């Protein structure tokens, strides 16, 4: 250790804080100028942590499941009645669906319809909420040779979750559709009108830019649009809900607040890529 005189040492220790504060500003500028560097640093940390969180995820989810079960015990009777009623309704729909399916197959056979190729997908576990105060994202734990690429589409068992924005060697980040930087081209299912789904960081993204003369209807289903070649057409996104101030929002079909497993689909689309980080999205908007 270098021996310094006491005044020099005191002066040095007084200097550390201002110097490091300047370094923090430098870091901000660096992160802004070279978003790739920041992204690499982030993914290095995520890669290191993903296996640990992967181990933690299983017991934690079982604890959560136990708590859920206890809550369900309390509402057993009302749930049962509701499910019976719902089952009854769904049985009718099942009959309709089967008729339609048969009819669809028949018509397709007559039209020499070329079916869409089945996309390949990888299932992976959500190991951490990787958002922040101003972001909505999740961290996925992946195997070493996963072949996941930026822009792949994440779905849970019910609907669209978001897009892969950062890929590391053992982990990947998925930007959720509720993130403030998320923009998803969608179609309203009944009116077939196109619109944009814009994240707000809140639980429900907002519906914007629909054409004149069309009004989104309460409860209308929203699916993705193939516009901009970023999504395949027809993935379920959610349903329209109007707020008290009459702004149309979309209640996502996917359970974004309790994601455990997502499927990453490769549709081979290389259109508009997902925003990488808040910094870069802002740059693109300019």
Site residues (CB under 8 A) for other proteins?
A: 13, 16-17, 20-21, 23-28, 30-32, 38, 41-42, 45, 49, 52-53, 56-57, 60-61, 64, 126-135, 137, 173, 180, 201, 257-258, 277-279, 282, 285-286
Nearer to other proteins, 191 or 279 (CB): 279
Output the smallest distance, CB 164 to other proteins, in A: 14
State how far the Cα of 273 lies from the Cα of 271, in Å rounded to an integer: 6
State how far the Cα of 46 lies from the Cα of 223, in Å rounded to an integer: 32
Q: Cα separations (Å) of 269 from 131, 153, 238, 262, 266?
A: 25, 10, 22, 19, 8
State how far the Cα of 177 lies from the Cα of 123, in Å rounded to an integer: 19
Nearer to other proteins, 27 or 81 (CB): 27
Output the smallest distance, CB 69 to other proteins, in A: 15
Q: CB–CB of 254/133 below 8 Å?
A: no
Residue 111, number of CB atoms within 10 A of its CB? 8
State how far the Cα of 54 lies from the Cα of 102, in Å rounded to an integer: 43
End-to-end alpha-carbon separation of the chain, Å?
Answer: 51
Nearer to other proteins, 38 or 235 (CB): 38
Nearer to other proteins, 199 or 216 (CB): 199
Output the smallest distance, CB 281 to other proteins, in A: 8
Output the smallest distance, CB 41 to other proteins, in A: 6
Nearer to other proteins, 56 or 95 (CB): 56
Q: CB–CB of 126/172 below 8 Å?
A: no
Nearer to other proteins, 154 or 193 (CB): 154
Nearer to other proteins, 113 or 134 (CB): 134
DSSP bridge pairs for 120: 266
Output the smallest distance, CB 203 to other proteins, in A: 11
Output the smallest distance, CB 237 to other proteins, in A: 22
DSSP bridge pairs for 261: 125
The residue among 132, 121, 131 whose CA lies nearest residue 173 is 131
Counts of helices then strands in the chain (DSSP H, E): 4, 12
Output the smallest distance, CB 201 to other proteins, in A: 7
Angle of helix 35-74 relative to helix 6-33, nearest 10 degrees?
80
């Amino acid at each position: 250790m270098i021996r310094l005189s006491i005044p020099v040492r005191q002066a040095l220790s007084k200097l550390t804080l201002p110097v490091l504060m300047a370094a923090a500003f430098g870091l901000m500028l660096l992160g802004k100028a070279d978003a790739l560097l920041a992204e690499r640093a982030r993914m290095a940390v995520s890669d290191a942590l993903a296996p640990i969180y992967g181990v933690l995820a299983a017991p934690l989810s079982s604890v959560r499941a136990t708590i859920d079960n206890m809550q369900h015990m309390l509402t057993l009777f009302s749930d049962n009645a509701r499910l019976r009623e719902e089952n009854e309704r769904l049985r009718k729909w099942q009959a309709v669906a089967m008729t339609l399916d048969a009819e669809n197959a028949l018509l397709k056979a007559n039209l020499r319809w070329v079916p869409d190729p089945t996309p390949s997908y990888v299932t992976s576990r959500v190991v951490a909420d990787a958002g922040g105060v101003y972001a909505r994202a999740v961290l996925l734990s992946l195997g070493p040779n996963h072949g996941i690429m930026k822009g792949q589409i994440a779905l849970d068992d019910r609907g669209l979750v978001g897009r892969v924005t950062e890929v590391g060697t053992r982990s990947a980040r998925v930007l959720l559709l509720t993130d403030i930087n998320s923009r998803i081209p969608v179609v309203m299912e009944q009116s077939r009108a196109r619109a944009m789904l814009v994240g707000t960081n809140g639980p429900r993204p907002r519906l914007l830019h629909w054409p004149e003369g069309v009004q989104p209807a309460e409860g209308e289903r929203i699916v993705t649009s193939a516009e901009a070649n970023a999504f395949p057409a027809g993935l379920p996104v959610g349903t329209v809900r109007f707020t008290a101030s009459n702004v149309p929002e979309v209640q996502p079909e996917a359970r974004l607040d309790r994601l455990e497993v997502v499927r990453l689909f490769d549709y081979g689309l290389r259109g508009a890529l997902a925003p990488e980080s808040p910094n870069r999205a802002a740059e693109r908007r300019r």
